[in-house]
Amino acid sequence: MELTTEQFIHDFELTLNEQQQTILSTATPSELFVALAHTIRQYYTPLWIERNKKLQENKDKIAYYFSVEFLPGRMLETNLLNLGILDVVKEGFAQLGIDFTQVKQAEHDMALGNGGLGRLAAAFMDSLATTGYAGFGNGLRYKYGLFKQRIVNGYQVELPDAWFGSIGNVWETRKDHDIVDVRFFGNVYMTDAGNGKLKPVYSDAQVLRAVPYDVPQLGYGNGVVNNLRLWDVEIPEEYELSYPTIEDRRRVEDITAVLYPDDSSDEGKKLRLMQEYFMTSAGLQTIVKSYLKLGLPLERIYEKVSVHINDTHPAVAPAEFMRILIDEYGLEWDDAWNATQKVMSYTNHTILSEALEKWHTGLFAHVLPRVYQIIVEIDNRYAAQMSAQGVDYETIENTRIVRNNQVHMAHLAIIGGHSVNGVAQIHTELLKEDTLRDFYKVSPEKFNNKTNGIVQRRWTQIAAPGLSKTIDKWIGQGWRSDIHELRKLNEYVDNSQAQADFWEVKQLAKQRLADYIEQTTGVHVTTDAIFDVQVKRLHAYKRQLLNVMHIIKLYWDIKDNPEGEFTPRVFIFGAKAAPGYHFAKSIIKIINELANLINNDEQIGDKLKVVFLENYRVSLAELIIPAANVSEQISLASKEASGTSNMKFMMTGAVTMATLDGANIEIKDEVGDDNIVIFGMTKDDVYNHYATRDYYSRGIYDNDPVIHRVVNTFVDGTIPNCQREGSEIFDALITYNDEYFLLQDFTSYVEAQEHLTQLYADRARWMHMSMTNIANSDKFTSDDTIRQYAQEIWNLSLPSHGKHRI
């Protein structure tokens, strides 16, 4: 939008005075932030209203992205950038003598997600608006987001993340006109509807009110505003008498109280099921209502509506959609089923079986009796149809929805939809070959790959403004709106002046991070060192422990030869562990104690530092990622579906230390073998070991003196204060045969690290690598990923109104 600095200053001061009833000289950063947010709201609100009006008038098809997680982080800067007024606002604040950074930091991260899956959902919201597609989000308005992590005596402590704080969510708007009711529990039986059909009668059901709060999603430079709808729960007035005590009310409020902090295991909790159904039912009910306003036949709803199931959490959607179409609007089963399958599509985000949700049939039928009946009917018809098609008994049994007293949510999502996708090539191959192979056998046409992406604007223009200016200097500003122009940088990867510029800007980012490290941990680190970073959820398969083993090896190398040549390294970790994930928490403790040991050893000095930054979150990632020289992507091959931080590091000039897993493989394809460092087993090696059962970690431990010494370090008292954690790690590696093959990959990892150190020592070579990574990162823009979803899965066309960047 066109906005002058004068106009902005005028609007801002007026809002501050009138809405915040305060003046510049006394306003706190938080008050200034709220006033700024409200000023921006005035700018985009007309665009938002216009967008909705046009979509309705033109009857454009809309895709709805259903996800229990959305992890946008802070929204202020993104909103300003996307509206095209970031520079104007910064200039206006400079004139007013306000520190923009302080104001931006007053915004609490919107952390309604655990990690990659939630961040991807938020990225897709940005990219849908930016590409112009009508794609809306549907999720839950948790009062508490992902827990706040504190490190106390080296241990993780979880605190509630009261992200609403005193100012609430400044971006949201409550939408009373779309309130709907959602039913749980009770009994249901079928009775004659009088028209030759049956209708369900409910008794003793609990009826709860779903209240939508809409959060605008602004497109970059195109005036498009899409919607992220988050549902909150309330007790309907007419049922208030049923909840006489505060405790009673609280039990209801729990449904939208807290995000489950477990990102890859089946929380066997009734509340979790209620959360999932609550947002799915509320979302689908309003979608059907708004479709009907178009005056089109319900059985053809798929022409105007797509519903995407993000992981299994909203996978009840096909059954709930059937319930709405049949019970509430009287559609025949076959018409409803045809519509449902065409509307629904599903993304799988992991092959870890514990993340493929399953519910005990008893629990499911108790919480959602009518939906359960429908699921059983879907399942029976599916089995009959497969059998009629000659599919063998075993395949049918393996793919059924209800089996062994469990409702398999992934199966419902696959059977009830037309598309199943994985999130990187290798992951999709694994789904076809292994995890979902029986489904691939019966419905190969449903399977497709959509490699993940990232919002390049956040990771360059917002998180790395210095880098962005350097890119501008060399290739102009075109890349800011067309990321593919980044490729022009390939021409300069060996230009010594360009190399010097990119080196310099990385050093500045490292200094920013070094300052933060010193402030928050008291540890002084030098930017002369290689900044080696692993930030992601703490999980055994991601192998933070392999990184730790390498650090221990370096520690002993220096202790053995204190005067030897050594390229200094700072190892930086950021990771939250699920509160119930004991082993992951032990690894956090070990990292912190090892850090204490190393950072306080004068003989080690600046050669080696280890830093664990607490409370890793999107806003901290924005500080850390642009400062990295090395991106650690070292999961056991086959286990990381895609990864997305790998893409962010690449785009900001880190060199990836990687196994051939997830999207690392596609990064390698983009940059070439010389600009990435690969080590370790391949997925086929891993599967061979599974097949032959020939892996024996104790054998490696007994025969390799380096590994022997490193592993012993966990239990010989070298690292103080972690006897228990040390023996747990020893047991996992040796007694329980090292499930994630750390010992097997260790030597190759160490060699790769040594190779990397040599590469770093040759600055021209290193900068060639670093810049080649930036120059070829355009493949991983989520704008392109979402275009593929829109065109290949949802069958969307671009709405005819507005100017779209395509």
User: Catalytic amino acids?
Assistant: 349, 536-537, 542, 644, 648
280 in contact with ligand CJB (CB under 6 A): no
Strand 225-234 relative to strand 206-218, pairing = antiparallel
What is the contact mask toward ligand CJB in residues 443 to 472, using x (rule: CB under 6 A)? ---------x--------------------
What is the contact mask toward ligand CJB in residues 87 to 126, using x (rule: CB under 6 A)? ---------------------------xxxx--x------
Among 275, 435, 642, 656, binds ligand CJB (CB under 6 A): 642
**Token pair in block for residue 739:** 């499930």
DSSP assignments along 774-788, one per residue: HHTGGGGBHHHHHHH
345 in contact with ligand CJB (CB under 6 A): no
Among 357, 593, 622, 640, binds ligand CJB (CB under 6 A): 640
Contact residues for 348 (Cβ-Cβ < 8 A; gap 6+): 311, 356, 410, 420, 421, 422, 423, 427, 431, 435, 436, 641
Q: How far is the CB of 684 from ligand CJB (least distance, A)?
A: 19
Q: How far is the CB of 65 from ligand CJB (least distance, A)?
A: 13
Select the residue whose beta carbon is closest to ligand CJB and give its number: 116
Among 156, 306, 419, 644, binds ligand CJB (CB under 6 A): 644
Burial 427-455 (b: 16+ CB within 10 A, else e): bbebbbeebbebbbebbeebbebbbbbbb
Name the 3-class secondary structure at 471. helix
Query: How far are the Cα atoms of 30, 79, 213 from residue 142, in angstroms, in the given order?
Result: 22, 22, 11
73 in contact with ligand CJB (CB under 6 A): no
The answer to whether 10 and 39 are in contact (CB under 8 A) is no
The answer to whether 313 and 278 are in contact (CB under 8 A) is no
Q: How far is the CB of 140 from ligand CJB (least distance, A)?
A: 15
Q: How far is the CB of 116 from ligand CJB (least distance, A)?
A: 3
Which lies closer to ligand CJB via its Cβ, residue 120 or residue 530?
120
Query: Which residues, numbered 661-700, are part of the site for ligand CJB (CB under 6 A)?
Result: 662
Which lies closer to ligand CJB via its Cβ, residue 348 or residue 521?
348
Q: Provide the 10 A C-beta neighbour count for residue 167.
A: 14
Q: How far is the CB of 409 from ligand CJB (least distance, A)?
A: 13
Closest to 263 measured CA to CA, from 40, 584, 568, 520: 584
The answer to whether 750 and 553 are in contact (CB under 8 A) is yes
216 in contact with ligand CJB (CB under 6 A): no
Which lies closer to ligand CJB via its Cβ, residue 718 or residue 788?
788
> With CB under 6 A as the contact rule, which of the stretches 86-94, 516-524, 634-642, 650-658 interacts with ligand CJB?
634-642
The answer to whether 726 and 719 are in contact (CB under 8 A) is yes
Q: How far is the CB of 120 from ligand CJB (least distance, A)?
A: 4
Calculate ∠ Cα 374-379-383, nearest 5°: 150
Binding-site size for ligand CJB (CB under 6 A) equals 18
Closest to 71 measured CA to CA, from 18, 142, 11: 142
Q: How far is the CB of 461 from ligand CJB (least distance, A)?
A: 22
DSSP assignments along 718-733, one per residue: SSTT-HHHHHHHHIII
> With CB under 6 A as the contact rule, which of the stretches 189-197, 214-222, 246-254, 638-646 interacts with ligand CJB?
638-646
Closest to 435 measured CA to CA, from 407, 462, 464, 414: 414
Which lies closer to ligand CJB via its Cβ, residue 132 or residue 680?
680
What is the contact mask toward ligand CJB in residues 120 to 159, using x (rule: CB under 6 A)? x---------------------------------------
The answer to whether 467 and 653 are in contact (CB under 8 A) is yes
Which lies closer to ligand CJB via its Cβ, residue 264 or residue 592?
264
Q: How far is the CB of 427 from ligand CJB (least distance, A)?
A: 8
Q: How far is the CB of 355 from ligand CJB (least distance, A)?
A: 5
Closest to 379 measured CA to CA, from 357, 344, 409, 353: 409
Query: Which residues, numbered 511-530, are part of the site for ligand CJB (CB under 6 A)?
Result: none
CA gap 317, 391 in Å, rounded: 26
Name the 3-class secondary structure at 209. strand
Which lies closer to ligand CJB via its Cβ, residue 361 or residue 448?
448
> With CB under 6 A as the contact rule, which of the stretches 91-99, 497-505, 587-595, 636-644 interacts with ligand CJB?
636-644
Q: How far is the CB of 739 from ligand CJB (least distance, A)?
A: 17
Calculate ∠ Cα 341-178-269, nearest 5°: 65
Q: How far is the CB of 149 from ligand CJB (least distance, A)?
A: 16
The answer to whether 439 and 414 are in contact (CB under 8 A) is yes
CA gap 71, 395 in Å, rounded: 37
Q: How far is the CB of 535 from ligand CJB (least distance, A)?
A: 13
The answer to whether 561 and 578 are in contact (CB under 8 A) is no
Query: How far are the Cα atoms of 58, 90, 761, 788 from residue 96, in angstroms, in the given order?
Result: 44, 10, 46, 44
Phi, psi of 233 (to 5 degrees): -105, 140
**Which residue reads 């004991």 in tokens?**
582
Which lies closer to ligand CJB via its Cβ, residue 378 or residue 637?
637
What is the contact mask toward ligand CJB in residues 412 to 441, using x (rule: CB under 6 A)? -----------x------------------
Among 129, 225, 305, 355, binds ligand CJB (CB under 6 A): 355
263 in contact with ligand CJB (CB under 6 A): yes
> With CB under 6 A as the contact rule, which of the stretches 201-209, 349-357, 407-415, 686-694 interacts with ligand CJB?
349-357
> With CB under 6 A as the contact rule, which of the stretches 126-134, 199-207, 641-649, 751-759 interacts with ligand CJB?
641-649
Which lies closer to ligand CJB via its Cβ, residue 30 or residue 645?
645
Which lies closer to ligand CJB via its Cβ, residue 661 or residue 728?
661
Among 51, 141, 349, 589, binds ligand CJB (CB under 6 A): 349
Name the 3-class secondary structure at 696. coil
Contact residues for 739 (Cβ-Cβ < 8 A; gap 6+): 540, 732
Which lies closer to ligand CJB via its Cβ, residue 66 or residue 184?
66
- Beta strands, E only, 311-429: 344-347, 358-360, 402-403, 406-408, 420-422
Query: Which residues, numbered 726-785, are part of the site for ligand CJB (CB under 6 A)?
Result: none
Query: How far are the Cα atoms of 411, 671, 736, 767 from residue 771, in angstroms, in the given order?
Result: 44, 10, 42, 6
Which lies closer to ligand CJB via its Cβ, residue 527 or residue 642?
642
Strand 420-422 relative to strand 344-347, pairing = parallel
Which lies closer to ligand CJB via its Cβ, residue 124 or residue 220?
124
For residue 571, give the H/E element and its range: strand 569-574
Name the 3-class secondary structure at 194. coil
Which lies closer to ligand CJB via its Cβ, residue 39 or residue 127?
127
CA gap 37, 58 in Å, rounded: 31
Q: How far is the CB of 264 from ligand CJB (least distance, A)?
A: 4
Among 131, 226, 350, 527, binds ligand CJB (CB under 6 A): 350
The binding site for ligand CJB (CB under 6 A) comprises 114-117, 120, 263-264, 349-350, 355, 423, 452, 640-644, 662
